[in-house]
Chain A
Amino acid sequence: MSKKAADIHTKKPTSKYKKAVVEFLTKHMVTIMFIVLSIIGLYLSGMNSTLYLTDIISRVSRNSFLVLALIIPVIAGMGLNFSIVLGAMAAQAIIIFVTDWGVVGFPGILLCIVLVTPLSILLGYMTGKLFNRTKGQEMITGLILGFFAAGIYWFIFLQLVGGVIPMDNEVLLLSSGVGIRTTIDLTGGLRYGLDDVYRLSLPIMIVIIGGIMALYQGVSFIGSDKEGDAKSRFYFGIVLAVAFIVGGIIIISSGSMINNIRVPVATWIAIAGLCIFLTFFSRTKLGQDMRTVGQDRHIAAVSGIEVDKVRIIAIIFSTVFASWGHIIFLQNMGAWSTYGSHEQIGFYAIAAILIGGATVSKATIGQALLGVFLFHTLFIVAPAAGRELYGDAQIGEYFRVFVAYGVIGAALALHAWKTRLQSKQKLGA
């Protein structure tokens, strides 16, 4: 032992950096791999940067909320919540009815949110109850529950609506009068209900974000002890903010095509609101309880936390956010498949957060947002890259589906392997 300690002291400082770099690389392997993959894909696809930017901004704005909905159950130690598809189904159900009533635009979105919240609270409560009976197997239970609930959803909207549940709407119903059509088009209805509240040109938005960042850094610096760590963070933040502002102004004055990209401000505010909520939530009593439950259920129970209740609340939060997120997603998509669009939501959201560097037991806001960005970059470039490489866009599409499943599988394997190693070490000690 002492010899080892001596070794460390005699090692040159350069090896310390090398070790740090190696550690950084192994820790963020998945993320780095995807950054490389995205860059290669972008290069191969030969895509126009404006086209790519337009696409990625609309994808990031419509998917981020959903992916952020995954964070709370991870904190509570319940793993990746595959049952967010229940929230998505609730959102779809409410959107169908609101579309039928003919409420359009932003008021329609508000009505959807008001109506979907109690429904998804109920669904979340039931899911939480079920998860408490299958502790340790939450992920597979959530996954199967999603399929099971889809069966019931199909039953309601294929067999009951128009018959048992009265609805009289030629646009929505199948020609037989019973059952909803397989695709629903929200154009002229809820489409862009939230996005079109206010849109701003991308560079102007960048300048504004830079301004807000500078303001935030200033305020938090004044509130802090103004030393060491706080100081360097302040400088870093200010430099970043200035870079944003200068970069934005350069783009505006250059008059490039990027000025034509218009950002849905209301959607971005909703996403930012959720991020702020999640940050504050983790500091509350409930948030701390969740963290304790996530680390060790038994210790939490001993210290007087009602474990089962906390777990149910975590799932309720996640389901409600997922339903809101899915409303944001659908109002942006416009047309969606009535009986299938919820299914991919779970897989794609989970794959995205994992690509951002999250694991089954740890997830942050930054990982969620980075993951959405990287995963959807791959989504945009993969078909084009496939076409360039093999003359077949289908290959790229299959590849990105493979990536989604593969990443989830690999993350699960890695987690299971790590947990086994840890429990072995515990036994050994």
Chain B
Amino acid sequence: MLSLLKSFYTNFGLPRLIILGFFLLLCFMAVVLDINFPDLMSSSLVRIAMNGVLVLAILPSIACGTGPNFGVSLGILCGLVGGLISMENQFDGYTNFMMAIIFSLPFAVIVGFGYGWLMNKVKGSEMMFAMFIGWSAVSLMKIFWLLAPFNNPEMAWPIGRGVRVTISLVNRGLAQLLNSTWSFTVGGVVIPTGLILFFLFCCLLVWLFMRTKTGVAMQAAGDNPRFATAAGINVDGQRIIGSIVSTILGAVGILVYAQSFGFYQLYEGPHFMPMIAVAAILIGGASIKKASIANVIIGVVLFQGILVVAMPVFNIFTQDMASMAEISRVVIQNGIILYALTQIVSGGD
């Protein structure tokens, strides 16, 4: 029994236990402090499902061996471009959402291919490079947003060129589109059925993909590149496929996120999003080298759950609740990434 506990502890890791304990403590305090529980549940569900696809986007890149995708902002930018093109054509509702995905796909495939190709050139320092290519793409796209040739008055600045910092999706019937589909209320808790189903559908697709011949080859390439090469798998090619899938999921992920949020956030918006997604999958039990769908779901539930519950709980202790919630996010998010980095056995040498 004791050895079982010990092996659980070593597998699970101290930081993860602390985070789990922190979450349980927050939930306990929320109950003690008599905070409106159904409200908390409702917003947790929304937050979890709207971030889910972005977290899912990290999975293929870990599986194919390029490490957690700190450059998923590239996919996010592709999604935003697709979304804006769809807006420009004034589609409404589901047509808008589907067209946004379709428009962003070619960008995501091309960018993902280029990104994967670069990842093969920088083997050994993928994470660092991914982070900086993501950040430089975000700042380059800021210039693009300033000069973007969009005319739809919902997006463009009233005078001059370029698009606004945040673009409201309400007028196109896109805000909370998935959330409100088939949504119902149980005991005061609003279940955003459409959103959850979409997230689970994406999970199912990735799960199925991982079981196709390509998916298995990709995992083999990520697991043990030398063995995979010996088995006749084109490791570099598989890494490119993983990057493409990751970028596509990033593009879809931001569209799901944005429709729930009600706005497209351009400019500084995508800057730190990859780190939030990476932290979530690591909290769920993934490592730099190994991840599964279960890690995605557990991680996003735990991380977003903490963020939602923390707000009202801290509100009672300090006047400055927003900053306290932000502080705990920053500490948890970066703490778990640091922990994952220290777990790379024989990674460096």
Contact = CB atoms under 8 A, between A and B. Distances in A.
A and B associate in one complex:
yes
Interface of A: 130, 133-137, 139-141, 143-145, 147-148, 150-152, 154-155, 158-159, 176, 178-179, 297, 390, 392, 394-395, 398-399, 401-402, 405-406, 408-409, 412-413, 415-417, 419-420
A135 to B, nearest CB: 4
Contacts of A416: 121-125, 129
A5 to B, nearest CB: 33
Contacts of A412: 122, 125, 128-129, 132
Contact of B139 (A150, A390, A405): A405
A413 B333 CA distance: 26
Given A412-B125, A416-B122, A395 B143 contact: yes
A179 B327 CA distance: 13
Contacts of A415: 125
A408 B334 contact: no
A4 to B, nearest CB: 29
A137 B349 CA distance: 10
B270 to A, nearest CB: 13
Given A136-B347, A141-B338, A178-B319, 19 more contacts: A130-B338, A136-B124, A137-B347, A140-B341, A143-B131, A144-B334, A151-B328, A151-B331, A159-B318, A297-B349, A401-B142, A406-B136, A406-B140, A409-B133, A412-B125, A412-B132, A413-B129, A416-B129, A417-B121
B311 interface: no
A416 B66 CA distance: 14
A159 B324 contact: yes
B127 interface: yes
Name, among B128, B139, B341, B348, the residue most crowded by chain A CB atoms within 10 Å (CB to CB).
Answer: B128
A42 to B, nearest CB: 20
A117 B333 CA distance: 29
A399 B143 contact: yes
Contacts of B337: 144
Name, among B132, B140, B318, B341, the residue most crowded by chain A CB atoms within 10 Å (CB to CB).
Answer: B132
Name, among B118, B143, B160, B335, the residue most crowded by chain A CB atoms within 10 Å (CB to CB).
Answer: B143
Interface string B81-95: 000000000000000
Nearest to A413: B122
Contacts of A155: 327, 331
A144 B347 CA distance: 17
Contacts of A297: 349
Contact of A151 (B118, B129, B330): B330
Given A159-B318, A416-B129, A148 B334 contact: yes
B110 interface: no
A345 B324 CA distance: 24
A394 B146 contact: yes
Interface residues of B, number: 43
B114 to A, nearest CB: 13
Interface in B300-345: 318-320, 323-324, 326-328, 330-331, 333-335, 337-338, 341-342, 344
Nearest to A416: B122
A136 B348 contact: yes
| The 5 residue pairs across chains A and B that have the minimum distance between CB atoms | A136-B348, A409-B132, A151-B330, A148-B334, A416-B122
B287 to A, nearest CB: 13
A178 B323 CA distance: 12
B17 interface: no
11 contacts: A134-B347, A137-B347, A140-B127, A141-B338, A154-B327, A154-B330, A158-B323, A395-B146, A406-B140, A409-B136, A416-B121
A413 B327 contact: no
Contacts of B123: 416, 420
